[in-house]
Amino acid sequence: MTGAEIIIQALIDQGVEVVFGYPGGAVLPIYDEIFKNQDKIKHVLVRQEGGALHAAEGYARSTGKVGCALVTSGPGATNAVTGLTDALLDSIPLVCITGQVPTFLVGTDAFQEADTTGITRPCTKHNYLIKDANKVADIIHEAFHVARSGRPGPVVIDIPKDVQFAKGAYKKALKPSLQTYQPKTEADRAAIEAAVALMANAKKPVFYTGGGVINAGTEASKLLRELVRETGFPITSTLMGLGAYPASDKQWLGMLGMHGTFEANLAMHDCDVMINIGARFDDRVTGRTDKFSPHSTKIHIDIDPSSINKNIHVDIPIVADAASALKMMIDVWKKHRYKADREALDKWRKQIEGWRAKNCLAYKNSDTVIKPQYALERLRDALAKDPREKYITTEVGQHQMWAAQFLPFNEPNRWMTSGGLGTMGYGLPAAVGVQMAHKDSLVVNISGDGSVQMNIQEIGTAIQYKLPVKIFILNNSWLGMVRQWQELLHGERYSETYSESLPDFVKLAEAYGGVGLRAETPDELDDVIEKMLKTDRLTIVDVCVDQRENIFPMIPSGKAHNEMILSPDADKFDKSLV
């Protein structure tokens, strides 16, 4: 077989159904094999390589499978770097195949040559440069194993063009137990025993969960629900962990962090036992680290040993897969017939309910101007009546945080957002990937007018493959999150954050062959949302929202959890950080 034939056969054997990519000279042998195997593997032609990586991320996050992308050498590979970094920070399993100039031209500054393995080494879990066709199959199989095992992440395979033409032998994949890479997944029993004993004696406990629960599979989410209900403890999560525990449950405190709820952040600050499962103490959660949850004993379960004690010192570190650790914790809790301290827990709940009574997400509505929060509430109510499976993607900015606050997620793998890197332009191509994986489901990308333009060319991809993605733009003509910081921290000096020229999003949708709708007043919202949900084509809804609205609660950078500001307190905010 040729190297290109081996690549396609290996992808098929790895269960790859869809490859997101963009052709070029250095990958033409692979594209020729894709043409011959159209009945076995689907290729989706994106409009820019960055879109391919984000689409693969959306596909992977919504299915739990490894996403796959294919790009050419040089600019194709460098355009993929943002998506690779995004996947690395959010622990998304990807395999990205990059073409390379022939081996005899490597190092000669050949046309479309770039040092792909050198460039991508810091932003991938692992990368390879293949110089022998006989090694192609083994390396591809190993790459998928590395991407999905342990802490998931992106892997790059760089393949020179002459290797794609060369003859080599095909080999089947080794069993996972025979692969060299064997991350630790089973928890230490003694550490779990100590953690559960600590939980049983807690007076003010809280579960702090993250994307690691979702990455561990749906079984981990089921076990998390069992443990939370068994203990009766309150639970919060990071942005990436939304959906692992149902937002509709009474033990749910909402999201924590910079724009998390008042009750979640204060519970984290005042708790005496913190059970971190699959979250990495990100700075958007911890704020000022020397004042982070000062009175708690901390348990941290993470499959990545390098995350333990990286940002915050923990008292009981447990390196394990979240599902494995949760199962063991439930077993230990039941075996010892532990019971939570009900009297203390009732007192703790009463304190939390006092914080919840603040109604921190309240906003002042208007009869004449659409408030972004109101737009999402109307969308939320309409989605609740729709019988289809729902998937939400977002771009990055104020709209992203409002979506996290106002849309309820009750199941894992339904919420796709760029949490770690904060990549504007993520949401639309991610929605393409999600819709490819879930053809009959409803996929809505919540966007801002600035962020959606970062990869707006992927409308063409959605149209070409008849993907009825909905793009719900909260249009305020500003780079809203940056404007908010300029208002609060930079004396209202709005440097370069207002867009004087925006496209007519309705006409833009129509120009591509989609549907464009607009709402300019609160009275028009329900009608356009209803029409959006009924269309069978890509649809843009341009929601013209209040240009001055800010998102609260907010923990300013450098402040502790108990120093958050609520909307009524914004004018009194300490601006000494400027």
The closest alpha carbon to 17, from 44, 40, 49, belongs to 40
Q: Scanning the structure block, which residue is given the tokens 């000096």?
A: 493
| H helix count then E strand count, the chain | 22, 18
Given the residues 111, 219, 334, 339, select the one marked as catalytic: 111
Spatial strand order of the sheet with 273-277 comes to 252-255, 235-237, 205-209, 273-277, 297-302, 316-319
Any catalytic annotation for residue 481? yes
Sign for the pseudo-dihedral over CA of 46, 50, 53, 57: negative
Which phi and psi (to 5°) does residue 379 adopt? -65, -45
β-pairing, 415-416 vs 390-394, is: parallel
Instruction: Out of 17, 42, 112, 310, pick the active-site residue.
Output: 112
Residue 391: half-sphere exposure toward Cβ, Cα within 13 Å: 28
Q: Which residues 6+ apart lie within 8 Å of 255 measured at CB?
A: 236, 237, 238, 239, 242, 261, 264, 404, 405
From 65, 125, 135, 161, active-site residue: 161
Q: Report d(CA 446, CA 512) in Å as an integer.
A: 19
- Distance in angstroms (rounded) separating the CA atoms of residues 22 and 471: 23
The 8-class DSSP code of residue 306 comes to G
Query: Please, which residues bridge with residue 237 across strands?
Result: 209, 255
The C-alpha atoms of residue 566 and residue 435 are separated, in whole angstroms, by 37
The one catalytic residue among 33, 49, 263, 458: 49
Catalytic status, residue 334:
no
Give the dihedral sign, CA 539/472/249/287: positive
Quick one: tokens of 302?
Answer: 């993470």
Distance CA 215, CA 241 (A): 9
Taking CA atoms, 569 is separated from 439, 488, 553, 564, in Å, by 45, 11, 10, 9
* Choice among 481, 532, 554, 564 that is catalytic: 481
Is 111 one of the annotated active-site residues of the chain? yes
Which residue numbers are catalytic? 49, 111-112, 161, 481
